[in-house]
Structure 1
């Protein structure tokens, strides 16, 4: 099969399209014929091996243990492994797999769900990692409730585009933060207000929010806390910048240490893709409450270009990799 592989850590230039053996599903796994995949910040971190904590976490100290990148996927079940009884060959599914920038990928059945009926494969592939992160941030870490005021910093990106829609679905009043060029997207997603961070500071303390989602940001904890109500909740979703060892995760560690001593709840997000959460998202998608915002699509050999576009900060919503033509 064709797959995008890497043998060393580094920039997008280390990726190349190559013929490799088709993976074999193990216990509790299924083999998926991938029709579409998607790009997120986690793909870049695993490609670069940065921060170095990524390597120490088991992904390979000197070189990547897994040669094929990619997590989000949507496609058809090709075969099932031992003990995987939830799906059958031919079922249309979406979720998180191992090495989805390939024509076939293995996935745990616990991280897959039936594809939403009203989405094609491209749109379904744009959901799993980012939408589950947004759901976990709002519902689980944030405890969002109807009537609350929610600030989404990074409202036009992959996670943020879902966070705006989900917060609205939960009955919150949403303020989205993004650049001038992406304000129209944030409004189209349902944001009640949009703050252009190039013109004003969204966390200067003049307005306070019950819940703040800081997505892949680098603002100081003190500034974020000034924009919270006295009993408000801050959820830090990823983080960029920082040192080579732990990167932007230093804010998450400090938030975790500080939270027991203040009235506000300061929470880092550790999100995973789960079958149950995917089913929740499927229900919201089929009800029309959530719609994937796809900025661009790329062919399989365009993965390096997609990652460059993402890291340059130009992406609007999700970037999708079209691995195979939609059979419909």
Structure 2
């Protein structure tokens, strides 16, 4: 978790400038460099947020690794901070409001002192939630919610298998599944077993000790997070009319799932 207050990113002496961590693909020693850049200009439907905390996601790392990040971009999607300026058409927020949100759909920009973002991608932080906690929520929690509720159509009493429960999305998925009164089996590494148990999973499988594909149990929803197993292995534990949702993983895995998934009949 990156905190602007405790980092070396201090206030710039120039009112209209700020410090930011910028992607420099020509830099031979470090692609991410700290620079003084122009402070964002606030559009009519945008707000200016002074960033207090930011969390980094796999999306940040993978974008850099794949080389698809434009030179000069300020990375960082999940932010939390305080609004310092509002555009003329903003209705939802006012100066001084504490907000958090996911900037991945509007150009990123979180690794900086300030960011200008559309009001539509931000939400208010409840008084009981810290900036640190709020900044860790947007991308991972929404991904988990969309997978379980929107795509998986999770219902109370259903059996759910969460593959990759130890990651950011997985830990939220376990808690959301229990919130929906599902019976949760979670797969993770040995170091995360106790943590996942504490989040409410009914059964936790250490993948180094047990192969879930050999189980006789069948699931109504299989959530695969950054999966590395064959599609047929997930099919083996699916019940008739069940759903398999995949999020993340290698490009080859995602392509196989997209192409072959619809061709595999269940039951």
Secondary structure of 2:186's partner? Answer: strand
Q: Conserved in 2, the CA contact under 8 Å of 1:147 and 1:173?
A: yes
Greater RCO, 1 or 2 (C-alpha within 8 Å, sep 6+): 1
Counterpart in 2 of 1:99? 109
Is residue 2:195 matched to residue 1:185? yes
Counterpart in 2 of 1:250? 252
What is the rounded CA distance, in whole Å, between the counterparts of 1:12 and 1:221 in structure 2? 40
Is residue 2:226 matched to residue 1:216? yes
TM-score with structure 2 setting the length:
0.85
Q: Conserved in 2, the CA contact under 8 Å of 1:213 and 1:234?
A: yes
Secondary structure of 1:25's partner? Answer: coil
Q: Which has the larger radius of gyration?
A: 2
Query: Closer, same or farther in 2 for the Cα pair 1:122/1:228, shift >3 Å?
Result: same
Is residue 2:24 matched to residue 1:7? yes
Secondary structure of 1:20's partner? Answer: strand
Structure 2 residues without counterparts, runs of 5 or longer = 1-17
- Report the RMSD for the aligned CA atoms in angstroms: 2.1
What is the rounded CA distance, in whole Å, between the counterparts of 1:115 and 1:10 in structure 2? 37
Secondary structure of 2:38's partner? Answer: coil
Structure 1 residues without counterparts, runs of 5 or longer = 240-247, 265-328
Is residue 2:76 matched to residue 1:90? no
Please report how far the alpha carbon of residue 257 of structure 1 lies from its aligned counterpart in structure 2 after TM superposition: 3.5
Is residue 2:153 matched to residue 1:143? yes
Alignment of 1:31-180 (within 5 A): 31-48=48-65, 50=66, 55=68, 59=69, 64-65=70-71, 67-97=73-103, 98-180=108-190
Secondary structure of 1:233's partner? Answer: strand
TM-score with structure 1 setting the length:
0.70
What is the rounded CA distance, in whole Å, between the counterparts of 2:169 and 2:258 in structure 1? 21
Query: Closer, same or farther in 2 for the Cα pair 1:9/1:163, shift >3 Å?
Result: farther
Secondary structure of 1:13's partner? Answer: coil
What per-residue deviation string (whole Å, max 9, x for no partner) do you get for residues 173-209 of structure 1?
A: 1111111111111011111110000111123343221
What is the rounded CA distance, in whole Å, between the counterparts of 2:224 and 2:89 in structure 1? 39
Query: Closer, same or farther in 2 for the Cα pair 1:154/1:9, shift >3 Å?
Result: farther
Counterpart in 2 of 1:16? 33
Query: Closer, same or farther in 2 for the Cα pair 1:84/1:234, shift >3 Å?
Result: same
Counterpart in 2 of 1:325? none
Please report how far the alpha carbon of residue 9 of structure 1 lies from its aligned counterpart in structure 2 after TM superposition: 8.1
Please report how far the alpha carbon of residue 159 of structure 1 lies from its aligned counterpart in structure 2 after TM superposition: 0.5
Aligned residue pairs total 245
